[in-house]
Structures are given as structure tokens and as C-alpha cells.
């Protein structure tokens, strides 16, 4: 995996300005490598003074349903990914 690949999320879920990004790293235990996942939730907004896009962790009460939606989608994506991986035998058959 190149350095640029490590800096990008493997999946993003957006609802308006609210974004849930799924990140993957490699972990190791007992001599085996495995994927480790994390989720970052943030809000994107355009700064009125500079016009630049910025991020914040502050969410307004009326944006909470969007936060819940992207968090649920990220959870669903990760849960289904785990079940798919467990459904495949070591020889690749299901």
C-alpha cells in the first residue's frame, strides 16, 4: 500500500455536510496480519471570511439525524464486511 493510499478513507458516507469516513489500518497478532477499522465523523463547512472548506466536530441539534444516518451506514458497512469475510472459508469457498 502506498503512502497516499494510507491517507485516504476506504469508504465515506455523506448526508449534506456531515461525513462519516471509514479508515483501515493493518494490525498483527500471533504472527497474523488483520485489518483494523476506525470511523471519523465530522462536518464540512465553508468559512465565510476565507471561502475555504473546513471541518469541525461540532454538530447542531437539527443535524443530529444526519449524523445518526451516516454513523448507521458506516456501522452497516463494517458489520456486513466482517460477516462477508467470515462467510468465506480459507480455500475461498462459501
- DSSP class of 8: S
List, in order, residues 6 or more apart from 58 with CB less than 8 Å away.
43
Residue 82 lies in a domain: yes
Checking if the pLDDT of 86 tops 70, the result is no
User: Which run of H or E residues covers position 79?
Assistant: helix 64-87
pTM of the model: 0.75
Give the pLDDT of residue 89: 43
Helices (H) and strands (E) in the chain, counts: 2, 4
d(CA 60, CA 41): 14
Give the number of domains in the chain: 1
Tell me, yes or no, whether 94 lies in a domain: no
Please indicate, yes or no, if residue 47 is contained in any of the structural domains.
Answer: yes
Query: Is the pLDDT at 88 greater than 80, yes or no?
Result: no
Q: Is residue 93 part of a domain?
A: no
Query: For 74-84, what is each residue's pLDDT tens digit?
Result: 999 999 986 66
Amino acid at each position: 500500500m502506498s503512502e497516499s493510499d494510507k491517507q485516504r478513507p476506504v469508504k465515506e458516507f455523506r448526508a449534506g455536510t456531515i461525513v462519516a469516513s471509514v479508515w483501515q489500518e493493518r494490525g498483527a497478532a500471533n504472527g497474523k496480519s488483520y485489518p483494523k477499522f476506525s470511523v471519523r465523523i465530522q462536518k464540512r463547512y465553508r468559512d465565510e471570511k476565507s471561502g475555504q472548506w473546513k471541518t469541525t466536530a461540532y454538530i447542531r441539534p437539527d443535524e443530529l439525524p444526519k449524523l445518526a444516518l451516516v454513523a448507521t451506514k458506516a456501522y452497516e458497512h463494517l458489520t456486513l464486511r466482517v460477516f462477508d469475510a467470515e462467510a468465506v472459508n480459507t480455500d475461498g469457498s462459501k
